[in-house]
Amino acid sequence: MRAGRSGSAAVLAGALALGAFTAPSAEAADTGITVSKLVVNKGKPVIVGTDAEVTPGFTYHMSWPSGPKLPDVDAFPFLYHDTTAAKGADSGGIYMNYTNCVEDGTHAADCDGELYIDPRWRLDSNNDATTWKIAVTARIWGSNGQPKSQEYLTGFGSVQVKRRAQVAVNAAPEPVAKGKKITVTGRITRADWVKHTYTGFGGKAAKLQFRKAGTSSYSTVKIVSADSAGYLKTTVTAAADGYWRWTFSETSTTGGASAAGDYVDVK
């Protein structure tokens, strides 16, 4: 299966169909294709929620032996976390949404594109929040529509795929008399890729921050650990009008998050 290209610029698309591209059916053979400067998501972790599609971008440079030209040369980046790229592709990698390559006339091209992640069908275990290795499926196509040679290229490093997190906040009572106590509650949740909903992130430490009315920056008042269900609760003294929020940093498996500030009017 191959998507068409034309001229010196080539675009391939179709995320759901591209699993076919990453699992060669014929015996692998050296293509002579080289890929360099491959960067996924600008080197940052990929954060994925429960239902929204995520399309991390990538860029790379590729070159190939004299003879074939676009559209008969393909290089498709993908992610995997199995022991080898071949096993990772067969067991279900993260494939591309599209790639666009512009040939420069010297058997080389600069390419960019997007990967495609739909957590409703691709991420079926929370263990998928881990380090994914980056690989490329390289192919040179023959005139019969079948690949003449094909191989997996590896050694491009890795990228973290993490669960999206959220945090809510409520500060009460409001309004409140100056010098009186207010209670600030909230809850930390994160994407559960098995249940396809957000569930409590127990034990995570969050910063309680305050921004005085008329200012633009928050300062940390205290640090509180969530209970086993992700709930946060603490009391503070009301001193001035302003906004209260919870915020926390990312972990090895989960992205960070900050709540929108909850305004408290102090009389």
- Per DSSP bridges, beta strands 46-48 and 158-163 are parallel
CA atoms of 174 and 136, how far apart (whole Å): 56
Confidence of residue 6 (pLDDT cuts 50, 70, 90): very low
CB 246 within 8 A of CB 259: yes
Element (H, E) at 85: helix 85-92
Q: Is the pLDDT score of 70 beyond 80?
A: yes
Decide if 126 contacts 194 (C-beta within 8 A). yes
On the question of a common fold for 9-163 and 165-264, the answer reads no
Cα–Cα distance, 234 to 170 (Å, whole number): 11
Which pLDDT score is estimated for 67? 87
9-163: CATH topology is Coagulation Factor XIII; Chain A, domain 1 (2.70.50)
Query: Distance between the two ends of the chain, CA-based, in angstroms?
Result: 69
Distance separating alpha carbons of residues 141 and 60, to the nearest angstrom: 20
Q: Which fold has domain 165-264?
A: Immunoglobulin-like (2.60.40)
Please choose, from the candidates 160, 167, 172, 243, the residue with its C-alpha nearest in 3D space to the C-alpha of residue 204.
167
56-70, 87-101, 116-130, 173-187, range with the lowest pLDDT: 87-101
Query: Which phi-psi region, left, alpha or beta, contains residue 70 (left: φ > 0; alpha: ψ -120 to 50)?
Result: beta
Q: What is the pLDDT of residues 130-161, one digit of tens each?
A: 999 999 999 999 988 888 999 999 999 999 99
Locate 26 and state its tokens. 């014929």
List the chain domain ranges.
9-163, 165-264
- Model pLDDT for residues 88-108, shown as the tens digit of each residue: 887 778 999 999 999 988 899
pLDDT surpassing 80 at residue 19: no
Q: Which structure tokens are listed for 3?
A: 């998507």
Taking the C-alpha atoms of residue 59 and residue 229, their distance in angstroms, rounded to an integer, is: 40
Q: Taking a C-beta distance cutoff of 8 angstroms, is the pair 259, 170 a contact? A: no
pLDDT at residue 8 is higher than 50:
no
Closest Cα to residue 184, out of 224, 219, 218, 216? 224
Degrees, nearest 5: CA angle 145-93-59: 75
Residue 11 binned pLDDT confidence (cut-offs 50, 70, 90): low
